[in-house]
Structure 1
Amino acid sequence: MDFELTEEQRIIQETAARFARQELEPVAAELDETKNREILKKNLKKLAELGFNGLAVDPEYGGTGAGAVAFSLAMTELGRACASTTVTVSVTNMVAEVIQAVGTEEQKRKYIPPLCDGTFYAGAFGLTEPNAGSDPAAMRTTAVLDGDTWVLNGRKIFISSAEYAGLFVVWAVTDKEAPKGKGISAFLVEPDFPGFTVGKDERKMGQVGSSTNELILEDCRVPRENLLGELNQGFKIAVTELAGGRIGIGSMALGIGLAAMDFATQYAKERIQFDVPIIQHQAIQWMIADNYTRLEAARLLLLKAAYLKDRKKPYMKEASMAKLFATEAANKACYDAMQILGGYGYTKDFPLERFYRDVRVTTIYEGTSEIQRLIIARHYMQ
């Protein structure tokens, strides 16, 4: 196996790292404190101009065409600086990829370019509902064909980027008589469609710089041609095409964990206790060694999943393994990094407090750790 990056992958990684240092890191704390969406949107626009919104999308539709490995590398570097920005970019990439995978040629040419070039600040997924989280097949939102339009009714919750998204992929039940999960379809919904409303922004523990909203669909009219993929096959899209999102979130979590450990390690070299820098104490050394080892293992799992995806080989199990391990490892890294800083780590004067809050949700969204374990286990039960 060749562990060397291609020149293109290396350039993308370096560009993401440089952008994170120069553009994201200086404003990350302010974005977290103020929720100033203009700061977020300004950097989203810049990232789009650099080609980060369609890293695995064919250049024919405005993408970069660099693949899933490049996507993982970029999300890790951006995640080191600002999780709120990175999660937005990750989801936008996945919206563009899903359309590329199952959309019609007309849909691809209409919706992918504005996602990639920043005309749309973001793309969003409307899947989760109050009674359908880890069990999306239990959704209650419905879609009924009325002439040349689909009429959607229902509610979606915890929708990332909804306030400024230019396009939504929304799932709804189109055959109430079908077995659970078999009568669901996906639709491309624009925010100005009649009957579509973006609701309240959730008050969250972390990643507060990005919006997380409720969607309200009240007789929302969607053109017939905006059905995405085959009728009644939407659940398959949700459980297969979105697996790539686990690579994105896992990679972002890795970046947060690395940033936390890098900061804590540097601090440990400078903090004097018992007449020596605390990095000289074995307790601190072991925390540093264990966390960097776990994070490196997470990196390898993520890149393997991305490698398989790039080669169009089955990667769902590997993506679940990578997402599970990377997010859990990143949470542990942030916990230990805060412990190394002691009381200082608990204050907002240092970035560890923000990293700690931002990383926590990574084991919850895009499939909880428990769901990832179920997916992995079922593979070995076959």
Structure 2
Amino acid sequence: MSPLVGKRILLVISGGIAAYKCLELIRSLRAAGASVRAVLTPAATQFVTPLSVAAITEDKVFSDLFSLTDESEMGHIRLSREADLVVVAPATADLLARMAAGMANDLALTALLATDKPILCAPAMNVRMWEHAATQANVVTLAGRGVRFVGPDVGDMACGEYGPGRMAEPDEILAAIAQHFACGQRLANRRALVTSGPTREPLDPVRFLSNRSSGRQGHAIAAALARFGARTQLVSGPTALPDPPAVQVVHVETAQQMLAACEQALPVDIAVCAAAVSDWRAAEPQPDKIKKEAGAAPEPLRLVENPDILATLSRAATRRPTLVIGFAAETSRLLDNAVEKRRRKGCDWILANDVSAATGTFGGETNEVHLISADGTELWPRMSKEAVAERLAFAIAEALEAHP
């Protein structure tokens, strides 16, 4: 049976030439068993008519934020929340920018801001607009909030240029929607624990030991596992990232606090230790700020080793997760060090990545990893951290399905 049977899709159509493709998308969605309700931006009505959309959806089309009739019958809050998935196609540069800014000056944006359901965007715009730093920053912002993307494709455009910016074809969007619902069942009834971000180990009230981790990879993994249906808890060190949607988040500062939160979360089926935990902490953090004395060197800083969260979870005598996954962030001898780390820690998988300054991995938007398991090593191509998370979630689902 199609995973779309009985699903409710809210389709937001914005003002781009690719809007005409949405008629075929609606037809395909309905043929697969989904119901579709559409919201048109004012600009969208210049490309497709509300009448044609209503005829294919066999439902009322919404476009006016201030329609008292619409508010009494539906309301933009109910409109945004009665769907199982919100699809934005085409997602123009203007709409993505306003979504990223949290604007709500028409019905489409109000519904997008009010929804608590997953959002899938199909960008469509001129190649220069897609490649512009502002658009790319908006995409990163939205992805960090859990918005997913399909496309854009590379090809000829209505403006005569060629490159990335074409909206994905209706069958591609349909496949992405179907995958969303299929994935949502694969880890249902599973519990997942993810650690993310750096830790901070205080030296005194104003100074600490830490590292350059942004937490982007760990947060993306937590969001992906939640999309696959897992009941997911994220234990996060200090980051500038928003909490992933549909994820229970525990915020901590130190390695000891992170370990305590992880142990409190047990039992779980899946544990992914993506946090960059400080290996050392001050033996005696000072209660007052350490003052600089003129002409005198400071006292030597004495460090003690922090608890090893990955090893603790991997070697738990009771309540050990079924699948324990760690990360090996290395700057040299990547594979040798990662293989040895997996053996030493006792975990099932290690994701090894090069975090040398030249790679831009720490704090960056992309990652290139090797998945190391008892079966060998698998190199994944460089991709966005969100794509790495999605691929890892697939691998986890397959592993647990093979050995229930």
Report the TM-score range of the alignment, normalised by the length of the smaller protein.
under 0.3
More strand by share: 2
More helix by share: 1
The alignment's TM-score, normalised by the length of structure 1, stands at 0.23
Q: Which structure would you say has the larger Rg?
A: 2
